[in-house]
């Protein structure tokens, strides 16, 4: 079986000339509508491994709007694995049909098990896993968010030879698997900047576990209060970005990163003449679900 969905498109974003900065976006979001961006990269070698070991079922974990859940469900449908999603929140058991991400995953054939927040927190414990093995028999386990050694290996393929011309490589950070892969395949002279989408003191340490170089830094000023928290300035930035550059951004990750990059350019963080490459890690499937939440709160929606 071949899991390659190769894609390599870099798009320039024109900035005011006086800043002397060049910004390009690597469109990993275009790899596939659902197995998109870094989620494809993170799954690739895990799928190779699962197949090699003869597993027919993939089991993983996620929240109600998880890009990772959508990607695993779609992988199952496209590449012939049965998929099981352990979902945070028992209350979703009766309402998941109204949740666009879970509804999509269900239509791809994913089987759900809804668990309480406490159980979800303990999902990596031996007891919890052996209960799952009793309930579902044999499966290939992919951790929440998909980060493991094989995921980092896949993310090491995001950069190619042509990307060596860039001075700064920017990427959004959730669990840190993606940035680790980017660090590992960067040149020591390049600076890797990570934009965490959540408040997370643990990230520095988590990334250090996988990263083989020290040419990286986390920019922690653009998480907007936490994971999946957004506000009006961020929404209007995302909407304007799409109009100006014809590139859709997701509200949880890439929108925050690009908001940060634009703000840093404005504040002259980057030396004149810098060439920046920002990785579009995908996540566009999450827009629908976020818009439903925004509508309920009477906020503007993402166009």
Ligand X SMILES: *Cc1c(COP(=O)(O)O)cnc(C)c1O
Token pair in block for residue 27: 């469109």
Token pair in block for residue 203: 């990230």
Distance, CA of 278 to CA of 265 (rounded, Å):
13
When asked if residue 22 is in the footprint of ligand X (CB under 6 A), the reply is no
Q: CB under 6 A: which stretch of 3-11, 12-20, 227-235, 278-286 binds ligand X?
A: 278-286
When asked if residue 285 is in the footprint of ligand X (CB under 6 A), the reply is no
Give, for 75, the enclosing helix (H) or strand (E).
helix 67-79
174, 248, 255, 260: residue in contact with ligand X (rule CB under 6 A): 174
70, 87, 110, 173: residue in contact with ligand X (rule CB under 6 A): 173
Contacts of 52 (CB under 8 A, 6+ apart): none
When asked if residue 289 is in the footprint of ligand X (CB under 6 A), the reply is no
32, 47, 64, 67: residue in contact with ligand X (rule CB under 6 A): 67
User: What single-letter DSSP state applies at residue 165?
Assistant: G
Q: Terminus-to-terminus CA distance in the chain, angstroms? A: 37
Dihedral sign, Cα of residue 260, residue 261, residue 263, residue 268: positive
Q: Which is nearer to ligand X, 37 or 76 (CB)?
A: 37
When asked if residue 85 is in the footprint of ligand X (CB under 6 A), the reply is no
Distance, CA of 137 to CA of 83 (rounded, Å):
13
When asked if residue 248 is in the footprint of ligand X (CB under 6 A), the reply is no
Q: Which is nearer to ligand X, 276 or 280 (CB)?
A: 280
Beta strand segments in the chain, E: 10-13, 22-27, 57-62, 82-88, 111-115, 140-141, 168-173, 191-196, 216-218, 275-280
Q: Which is nearer to ligand X, 46 or 147 (CB)?
A: 147
When asked if residue 260 is in the footprint of ligand X (CB under 6 A), the reply is no
Q: What's the min distance (Å) between Cβ of 281 and ligand X? A: 3
46, 74, 83, 281: residue in contact with ligand X (rule CB under 6 A): 281
Q: CB under 6 A: which stretch of 8-16, 94-102, 166-174, 233-241 binds ligand X?
A: 166-174
60, 101, 186, 254: residue in contact with ligand X (rule CB under 6 A): 254
When asked if residue 76 is in the footprint of ligand X (CB under 6 A), the reply is no
When asked if residue 148 is in the footprint of ligand X (CB under 6 A), the reply is no
76, 85, 154, 176: residue in contact with ligand X (rule CB under 6 A): 176
When asked if residue 153 is in the footprint of ligand X (CB under 6 A), the reply is no
76, 177, 200, 251: residue in contact with ligand X (rule CB under 6 A): 177
Residues 227 and 253: beta-carbon distance below 8 Å: no
Residues 237 and 299: beta-carbon distance below 8 Å: no
When asked if residue 251 is in the footprint of ligand X (CB under 6 A), the reply is no
Distance, CA of 176 to CA of 183 (rounded, Å):
11
Measured CA to CA in angstroms, residue 155 lies from 108, 149, 188 at distances of: 25, 10, 17
Residues 32 and 108: beta-carbon distance below 8 Å: no
Residues 144 and 61: beta-carbon distance below 8 Å: yes
Q: How many residues bind ligand X (CB under 6 A)?
A: 21
Q: What's the min distance (Å) between Cβ of 143 and ligand X? A: 10
Letters for 24-53 (x = contact with ligand X by CB under 6 A, - = none) are -------------xxx--------------
Q: Which residues bind ligand X (CB under 6 A)?
A: 37-39, 67-68, 145, 147, 172-179, 250, 253-254, 281-283
């Amino acid at each position: 079986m071949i899991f390659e969905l190769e894609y390599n498109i870099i798009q320039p974003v024109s900035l005011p000339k006086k800043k002397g900065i060049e910004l390009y976006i690597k469109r990993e979001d275009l790899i596939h509508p659902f197995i998109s961006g870094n989620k494809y990269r993170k799954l690739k070698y895990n799928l190779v491994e699962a197949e090699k070991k003869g597993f027919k079922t993939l089991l993983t974990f996620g929240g109600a709007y998880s890009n990772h859940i959508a990607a695993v469900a779609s992988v199952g449908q496209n590449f012939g694995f049965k998929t099981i999603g352990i979902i945070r929140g028992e209350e979703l058991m009766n309402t998941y049909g109204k949740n666009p991400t879970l509804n999509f995953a269900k239509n791809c054939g994913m089987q759900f098990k809804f668990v309480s927040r406490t159980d979800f927190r303990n999902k990596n414990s031996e007891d919890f896993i052996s209960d799952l093995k009793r309930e579902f028999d044999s499966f290939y386990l992919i951790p929440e968010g998909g980060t493991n050694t094989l995921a980092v290996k896949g993310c090491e393929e995001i950069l190619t030879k042509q990307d060596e011309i860039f001075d700064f490589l920017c990427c959004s950070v959730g669990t840190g698997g993606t940035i680790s892969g980017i660090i590992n395949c960067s040149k020591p002279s390049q600076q890797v900047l990570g934009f965490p989408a959540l408040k997370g003191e643990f990230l520095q340490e988590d990334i250090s576990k996988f990263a083989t170089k020290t040419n990286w830094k986390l920019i922690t000023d653009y998480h907007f209060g936490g994971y999946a928290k957004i506000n009006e300035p961020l929404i209007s930035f995302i909407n304007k970005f799409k109009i100006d550059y014809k590139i859709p951004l997701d509200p949880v990750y890439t929108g925050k990163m690009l908001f940060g990059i634009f703000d840093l350019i404005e504040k002259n963080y980057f030396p004149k003449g810098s060439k920046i490459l920002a990785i579009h890690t995908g996540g566009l499937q999450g827009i629908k679900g976020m818009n439903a939440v925004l509508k309920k709160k009477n906020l503007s929606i993402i166009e």
